[in-house]
């Protein structure tokens, strides 16, 4: 079973490119903004969260803070 990865980025080409690069090693999920990302984090357990810093309405650091408050937080990586 592959580890799960959530990619949060508002640029579709970036999300899709990261998925293409990482889908051999991870079960990849995508979200286009922080709210969609947090909704997925509440529904599923993710091993890794990879998020852009600049997101619409809420930045990636706030998303990471929310992810770290979960009972089983993922490893969090912030892209700039």
**Mean pLDDT for the stretch of residues 5-15:** 97
Mention every residue, 6+ apart, whose C-beta is less than 8 A from residue 62.
Answer: 34
pLDDT tens, position by position, 23-52: 999 999 999 999 999 999 999 999 999 999
Is residue 25 within 8 A of residue 48, CB to CB? The reply is no
Q: Is the pLDDT of residue 14 over 90?
A: yes
pLDDT tens, position by position, 44-72: 999 999 999 999 889 999 999 999 999 99
Residue 24 token pair = 């051999």
């Amino acid at each position: 079973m592959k580890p799960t990865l959530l990619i949060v980025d508002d640029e579709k080409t970036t999300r899709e490119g990261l998925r293409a690069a990482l889908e051999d090693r991870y079960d990849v999920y995508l979200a286009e903004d922080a709210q969609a990302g947090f909704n997925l984090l509440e529904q599923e357990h993710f091993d890794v969260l990879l998020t852009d810093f600049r997101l619409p309405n809420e930045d990636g650091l706030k998303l990471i803070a929310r992810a770290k408050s979960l009972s089983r937080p993922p490893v969090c990586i912030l892209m700039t």
